[in-house]
Amino acid sequence: MNAAAAEIKRAVADAHRREWAFVLAATARVAGDIELAEECVQDAYLRALDTWARDGVPGNPGAWLTTTARRLALDAHRRDRTLRSKLPLLVEPDAAPDAEDVEADVVPDDRLRLVFTCCHPALAREAQVALTLRLVCGVSTGDIAQAFLVSEPTMAARVTRAKKKISAARIAYRVPEAHELPDRLDAVLTVVHLLYTTGHTAPTGRDLVRVDLVERALDLARMLHSLMPDEREVRGLLALLLLADARRATRIAPDGRLLLLAEQDRSRWDRAAIDEGVGLVFDALRGGRPGRFALQAAIAALHAEAPSYAETDWRQVVGLYDELLRVWPSPVVALNRTAAVAMVDGPAAALVEVEALERDGRLAGYRYLTATKADLLRRLGRNKEAIAAYRAALELADNATERAFLAGRITELSAG
Amino acid sequence: MAQYLILIYESETGWQDAPPEAWQQAMEAHNRFAQQVGELGGSLLGGNALQPTTTATTIRDDIVTDGPFVETKEALGGYYLIEAKDLDQALAIAKLCPAPYGGVEVRPVMTFDE
């Protein structure tokens, strides 16, 4: 391939990454059908390879792709009237545009409609995640399947089922009204956060594809923040992801060993990401009761800014966890809180809370509950019980790095 | 506008053991619901309460047997057919549908070419 062709290919790939959501969202409105819109957008990207090679990369690649995809959708309708879906995508409140609108210079930004449609609560969480990756991020079904460790046909069926439900149940292609927004937005943020955590701590297997999930989650959080700059929870989510990701390079030792927060080399944390995250946290906390993402981001900010693990403001961390439990009474939050309690009131006090969570039963089989208990027992010098707990945690862990960490602890304690 | 069926699934034993006041309250709640559908911008096309599953008869491959297909804790006890502009409106309506001993399921009605 010559240099010019390589450059065109790069320009198209770049436009795919940056403009896919915009192009698809705008095309869906004209196509009146998500499936048709997807085909037209894919076709537009293919055509870009030839046309741009011949005529040069247009000044505004996104606009070129949108116009091309929308024309293709319109042509498809003209060619075959019956192609017009029996169950058209419901674009409200404004009616689907006609041919003249397609040629118009200003294309409405429909990305929020697309995101809220993909994350509609009538769709199962795993379908929301898959649809968001496919339709908003433009990730291929094969890559999504790989990232979530299911076969490609399984993932394809999941995506198809979800798209069918959108049209058959008439899930409207719109941004929720103000009174619905908090709940609906929470679903969107949950999906993005889930993408991030799946990439951040790969549940099983190698982590090659997972870095991509982390990047996609960050891209999505940035996109949402640019589209909804006043939503404090969106700010909170972006801050949380930036602050967590600032530590990415220091989570694994050169020998592949998992490094805990206490052991990480803080000088290698990404300062630019931390500064950006901390700035967003301040805004997210201001003006009314903060939500769960803002509070998690605030906790992450305290860690990010502490000179060392010991010198972290643990009292404030516990206080933020208390606040977080009030807005989000989840046993996982209660478990994370115990780590901070151990630093303020000692491991014995934390163990009491961990054992209460064990009795509660909702976290049965959750590997971090057992691992936390093991760690507290170890710090209390109750080695025999600690080894038993580490063994139980090892049974539950699939990730190779995590398994090595737990096995290492068992060896240490058995020797000592 | 599209049609949706709101299927009311409830514990039958819940209703068996219910005091007369509960029945009274349910009647009032359903009357109120019929009003609220219109207030939310939808319309009520029909609906019925069903006799309990002990009265059900199943036919499969022409063989008539007593009882429903599957024994479940919650059984179909009634339904409403409504019209709404989209799923969100249908769900807003369905949220108001009384089902003290269970819940409701919302299903879009399939449309065929005329």
DSSP E strands: which ranges in A305-403?
none
DSSP letters spanning A125-167: HHHHHHHIIIIIS---HHHHHHHTT--HHHHHHHHHHHHHHHH
Read off the pLDDT of residues A241-273 as tens digits, 9 standing for 90 and up: 999 999 988 888 887 777 889 999 999 999 999
User: Which residue, among B94, B82, B17, has the nearest Cα to B52 in the 3D structure?
Assistant: B17
- Compare all CA atoms of chain A with the CA of B86 and give the residue at the minimum distance: A170
Q: What are the tokens at B93?
A: 């309506």
Sketch the domain layout of chain A as residue ranges.
Answer: 1-106, 110-206, 230-320
Q: Is the pLDDT of residue A209 over 50?
A: no
pLDDT at B62: 84
- CB contacts of B86 in chain A (<8 Å) are 90, 92, 170-172
Q: How far is A85 from chain B (nearest CA, A)?
A: 11
Amino acid at A337: R
Contact of A135 with A118, CB cutoff 8 Å: yes
The region that residue B66 occupies, defined by phi over 0 for left and psi between -120 and 50 for alpha, beta otherwise, is: beta
Query: In the predicted model, is pLDDT for residue A319 greater than 50?
Result: yes
Q: Structurally, what CATH architecture does the domain formed by B2-108 represent?
A: 2-Layer Sandwich (3.30)
Q: What is the DSSP letter of B110?
A: P
Average pLDDT over residues A312-333: 96
Q: What is the pLDDT of residues A142-154, one digit of tens each?
A: 888 887 888 999 9
Segment A68-99, tens digit of pLDDT: 999 999 999 888 765 555 667 777 655 455 55
Could you tell me the pTM of the whole model? 0.85
Q: Which residues of A touch B88 (CB under 8 A)?
A: 171-172, 176, 180
Burial of A156 (0-12, 13-18, 19+ CB in 10 A): middle
| Residues of chain A contacting residue B108, judged by C-beta atoms under 8 Å apart | 168-170
Say yes or no for a CB contact (<8 Å) between B113 and A180.
no
Q: Which two tokens stand for residue A193?
A: 């956060």
Which residues share a beta bridge with B107?
Answer: B5
- Partner B contacted by A172 (CB < 8 A): yes
Residue A9 pLDDT exceeds 70: yes
- Dihedral (CA of A52, A56, A61, A64) sign: negative
Query: A415 is written with which tokens?
Result: 């020797």
User: What local confidence, expressed as pLDDT, does residue B26 receive?
Assistant: 92
The tens digit of pLDDT for each residue in A160-207 reads 999 999 999 999 999 999 888 988 999 999 999 999 988 876 555 555
Q: What is the pLDDT of residues A44-68, one digit of tens each?
A: 999 999 999 999 999 999 999 999 9
State the pLDDT at residue A208.
Answer: 40
Output the average pLDDT for chain A.
90
Q: Which of A28-37, A299-308, B71-80 has the highest mean pLDDT?
A: A299-308
Q: What is the pLDDT of residue A82?
A: 59
Q: Per the omega criterion (within 30 degrees of 0), is the bond before A254 cis?
A: no
The arithmetic mean of pLDDT across residues A288-306, rounded, is 95
Q: What is the pLDDT of residue A86?
A: 61
With a cut of 70, list the residues of chain B below it in pLDDT. Answer: 113-114
Give the residue among A97, A47, A92 at the shortest CA–CA distance from A69: A47
Interface touch B87/A168, C-beta < 8 Å:
no
- Condensed to tens digits (0 to 9), the pLDDT of residues A377-401 reads 999 999 999 999 999 999 998 778 8
